[in-house]
Chain A
Amino acid sequence: MGILEVKNVNKRFGGLQALGNVNLSVQENTVHAIIGPNGAGKSTLLNCLVGKLIPDTGSVMFDGQSVLGRHPYEINQMGISRVFQTPEIFGDLTVMENMMIPCFAKRDGAFEMNALSAVGRQKDIIERAEHVLEDMKMLDKRNMHSASLSRGDKRRLEIAMCLSQEPRLLLLDEPTAGMARADTNNTIDLLKQIKEERDITIAIIEHDMHVVFSLAERITVLAQGTPLVEDTPDKIKGHPKVREAYLGESA
């Protein structure tokens, strides 16, 4: 039984069958990649996992509990953190404030009326935020306006924000989309380091084969809304069905 179990999920947008009978099982403490050509339904599937979309049929269980019908913030509180394709951070706030907000969410829950104590006195929150920032080698940027960070640092900050919540499952939506090669390699190293240092399950949606084959332990190939195969990277590379659907003639 995996930490994330997707069973018979269907999602239809008008005449388009975006997801057809998707079954997916992500095992705890693995890196699981979901790949597929454009329009394969990867993002739709991800949105069904985090509460942005509700599937027409089927079930999505996280750690034995259904996530269907829950708000994104409730699903996050269950232990799923999401990294977006373009980094979603609090651009008007400083790096440190960006880090403190998820720490507050972790400590105080979805809402806490904490209107009279000064932020500067929340020692446990500050410590925790600084600890993760140091881990991510961003402590020197703590007082910077997060909007003025480079693209790679924004991504790093977003991942740091997710990690500060100590999620059990980290969902990454094309984390290296639009990145230069050097930034992509940095991100790969960062994710490898994260995986080594903590007990965390990572599910990653990715276009870039280089990223997928450097990180993933299991790969699910999605085509036209249906999983084609699920296997280890080595087997996926040589799989004829995958070549046909995804890698094309050139591979």
Chain B
Amino acid sequence: MFGLDSKDTKLLIVVALLVILAPFILNPFPTDSALAQFNAGYPDLMQRFVIFGIFAIGFNILFGLTGYLSFGHAAFLGVGSYAAVWMFKLLSYNVIPAIALSVIVAALFSVLIGYISLRRSGIYFSILTLAFAQMSFALAYSVLSNPKFNLTNGETGLQVYPGDPQVLHHEGLPDVPHLFGIAMRDNFWEPVFGGWSFTFNNGYYLCAVLLIAVFYLSIRIFRSPFGMMLRAVKSNQQRMNYTGLNARPYTLAAFVISGMYAGLAGGLLAAMDPLAGAERMQWTASGEVVLMTILGGAGTLIGPVLGAGFIKYFENIFSKINDNVLHQWFSFMPDGMEDFMVFVLHPFIGKGWHLTLGLLFMLVVIFLPGGLVEGGQRIAALFRGGRKKRGGAEDGEHHPKPSPHVAE
């Protein structure tokens, strides 16, 4: 279906169902139960899952296929956000032109940065992209924000003010980002079943539709001759060169495509919340997408989405657990025991969520070099149990063998 083989069609349908039903799936606990804080089915977080999923899918086209590790992809995300907010300021709050411009601007930006950075490979490429991203951050944070020429509004962040032109804006349209009048931040359905309540948000479903579309596109790219060439770049550039293929335009095309994915993600961030700040371009943001991709499984189709969800979940849920919550959990224990447990777990919760994430990341990289996807495959293999491993070579074709991606 849709030009995909049956295995890929199944994967696409599963992803589409997960994304569409996410408001149910992510809210498994009744609202007033003790576990309700593990619910992730609220619009703001779901939007982040999907937006960073798009970001990571795009990053994976570059890193997963060609092995070029960019440490500057947040620059494209930030550029996309700025472009979108400028569209809000100048045209109107409609998200279509905003998102379109953010993709175009990110594409132009990535042509420039990619053209220069791809003259080198390996660690030098990573350093070049990092340098470009940090320059972009500096430009956005201070240089391009002065009274004479204020493009980015510095540390305050770019936002829409009542005095902005908004030439296409008129009475009757909401004063927030909208899609032809449908406000992104509004919820269209808030059902309550017994103790459970769910939220269906307009903005989330816009992001969801786009995620399914770009996920489909990435499957097509993975299975195309172009995708095969990108894997050839990663495998052996020398052989490629002596086989009459010019690796440079292939890598540049992959770089630009992944830059456009990042621009789309940036545009969507702004469409959900019309604000663009320079911190979105900082190197930690670039590092985050690298972590997402490796954690989920670089070079696999679904891995980056899983990785993005995993990290965003930790960032938002674990960081909210505090000592009071822990005391509640361990209240069944004798007093001294309870305090001890809280003392032991304290560094790993709240602001210490980075510590937990770091430990999990280490565990995954050491024991599951293929990321969460490899974990899933191993579990599936366990369930298949005694049945003989079937089509090993076929698997190798679709999922590159677990290799130390981090070392590249």
Tell me the A residues contacting B by CB distance below 8 Å: 50, 71-74, 76-77, 81-82, 84, 88-94, 97, 100-102, 104-106, 108-120, 122, 125, 143-145, 161, 165
Contact = CB atoms under 8 A, between A and B. Distances in A.
B149 interface: no
A108 B228 CA distance: 14
A114 to B, nearest CB: 4
B250 A115 contact: no
A115 B225 CA distance: 6
A32 B328 CA distance: 84
B227 interface: yes
A76 B244 contact: yes
Contacts of B236: 88-91
B3 interface: yes
Given A71-B241, A101-B243, A111-B245, A94 B393 contact: yes
Most A C-beta atoms less than 10 A away, residue of B5, B228, B250: B228
Given A73-B245, A90-B232, A97-B228, 14 more contacts: A72-B241, A89-B239, A90-B231, A94-B393, A101-B245, A102-B243, A104-B229, A110-B246, A111-B250, A116-B3, A118-B4, A118-B223, A143-B394, A145-B393
A72 B242 contact: yes
B179 interface: no
A177 B229 CA distance: 29
A165 B244 contact: yes
Nearest to B397: A94
15 contacts: A74-B244, A84-B242, A91-B236, A92-B400, A92-B401, A104-B225, A106-B244, A111-B249, A117-B225, A118-B3, A118-B220, A118-B224, A120-B5, A120-B223, A143-B397
Given A143-B393, A145-B396, A145-B401, A122 B232 contact: no
Contacts of B234: 92
Contact of A161 (B5, B227, B235, B243): B243
Interface string B54-72: 0000000000000000000
A143 B394 CA distance: 7
A115 B232 CA distance: 14
Contacts, number: 124
B246 A116 contact: no
Interface of B: 3-5, 220-221, 223-229, 231-232, 234-236, 238-246, 249-250, 253, 393-394, 396-397, 400-401, 403
Most A C-beta atoms less than 10 A away, residue of B229, B239, B394: B239
Contacts of A112: 225-226
B231 A110 contact: no
A88 B228 CA distance: 17
Contacts of B246: 71, 73, 110-111
B235 A113 contact: no
Contact of A105 (B4, B223, B245, B403): B245
A88 B242 CA distance: 10
Given A110-B244, A145-B393, A165-B243, A119 B228 contact: yes
Given A90-B236, A94-B397, A165-B244, A100 B231 contact: no
Contacts of B244: 73-74, 76-77, 102, 105-106, 109-110, 165
A82 B242 contact: yes
B223 A88 contact: no
Most A C-beta atoms less than 10 A away, residue of B232, B234, B401: B232
Contacts of A73: 240-246
Contacts of A50: 242
A88 B226 CA distance: 21
A88 B238 contact: yes
Given A118-B3, A119-B225, A122-B225, A90 B239 contact: yes
A84 B235 CA distance: 16
A143 B390 CA distance: 13
A137 to B, nearest CB: 18
Contact of B232 (A101, A108, A144): A101
Contacts of A71: 241, 246
A81 B224 contact: no
A117 to B, nearest CB: 6
A73 B248 CA distance: 11
Contact of A94 (B3, B220, B396): B396
B12 to A, nearest CB: 14
Contacts of B241: 71-73, 76
B226 A115 contact: yes
Contacts of A117: 224-225
Given A93-B235, A120-B5, A144-B393, A114 B245 contact: no
A161 B163 CA distance: 65
Given A92-B400, A102-B244, A143-B394, A115 B220 contact: yes
Contact of A76 (B231, B243, B403): B243
Contacts of B249: 111
Contacts of A104: 225, 228-229, 245
B397 A101 contact: no
Nearest to B257: A115
A32 B396 CA distance: 40
Contact of A91 (B3, B4, B235): B235
